[in-house]
């Protein structure tokens, strides 16, 4: 092969190599921006979950008061959805640090627990209605009432914990580290104590409310307080 042929071959190989490298760079850049977009969506989903958890706190709080008034739940609540985490978390998993992974997985694990408890509450309420229609205030009905009260307590505290972890993650996105012995862990434990205290106060407040008031859907005081 003469020098012209070698030059043409060299140019051809160089062009192919350049094209390959550009394609690889393009793929890497697209993957980077896709991961950044997914991570942003995961953060936005945490904000959505926080809002949904507030909704469920009201649901569980009302039922705690009803439990204090020796009533029982007549309604169910829709759970929390997390489609971004369920479908796309795996795409960014390897690019997160340990604290980020633990935080994301713990929050969404708590969400799964909340949804499971809501299903349990709904199923138990169905059993209680049937038992009450058939046997009135039977021993089984009263046992179910206590079980429902315990489920509601767990549901309430679970929602409060979800909200704390989300707030902690959003304020420490680069390293949401909650290792034992840290000041953040101390604050978390103090928060748990306050949740238990608030939950017990909510139950006690229900003892002073007539059962008829729980049948009221609209309370103007709920809106006037926000003005």
* pLDDT tens digits along 62-88: 999 988 888 777 778 999 999 999 999
pTM of this structure = 0.81
Q: Are 66 and 206 in contact (CB under 8 A)?
A: yes
Return the pLDDT at 36.
77
Residues 93 and 98: their CA atoms lie apart, in Å, by 10
Least confident of 20-34, 55-69, 87-101, 104-118: 20-34
* pLDDT tens digits along 106-140: 999 999 999 999 999 999 999 988 988 899 889 99
Return the pLDDT at 227.
41
**Measuring CA to CA, which residue among 190, 109, 205, 113 is closest to residue 154?**
113
């Amino acid at each position: 092969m003469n020098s012209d042929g070698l030059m043409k071959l060299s140019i051809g190989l160089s062009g192919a190599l350049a094209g390959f490298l550009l394609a690889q760079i393009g793929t890497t850049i697209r993957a980077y921006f896709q991961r950044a977009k997914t991570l942003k969506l995961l953060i936005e989903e945490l904000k959505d979950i926080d809002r949904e958890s507030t909704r469920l706190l009201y649901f569980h709080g009302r039922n705690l008061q009803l439990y204090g008034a020796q009533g029982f739940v007549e309604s169910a609540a829709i759970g929390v959805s997390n489609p971004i985490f369920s479908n796309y978390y795996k795409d960014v998993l390897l690019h997160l640090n340990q604290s980020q992974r633990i935080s994301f997985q713990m929050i969404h694990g708590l969400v799964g627990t909340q949804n499971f408890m809501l299903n349990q509450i709904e199923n138990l309420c169905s059993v209680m209605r049937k038992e009450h229609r058939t046997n009135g205030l039977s021993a089984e009905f009263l046992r179910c009432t206590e079980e429902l009260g315990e489920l509601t307590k767990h549901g309430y505290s679970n929602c409060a914990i979800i909200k704390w972890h989300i707030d902690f993650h959003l304020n420490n996105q680069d390293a949401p580290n909650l290792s034992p012995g840290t000041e953040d862990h101390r604050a978390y434990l103090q928060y748990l104590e306050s949740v238990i205290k608030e939950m017990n106060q909510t139950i006690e407040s229900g003892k002073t409310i007539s059962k008829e008031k729980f049948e009221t859907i609209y309370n103007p005081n709920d809106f006037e307080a926000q003005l």
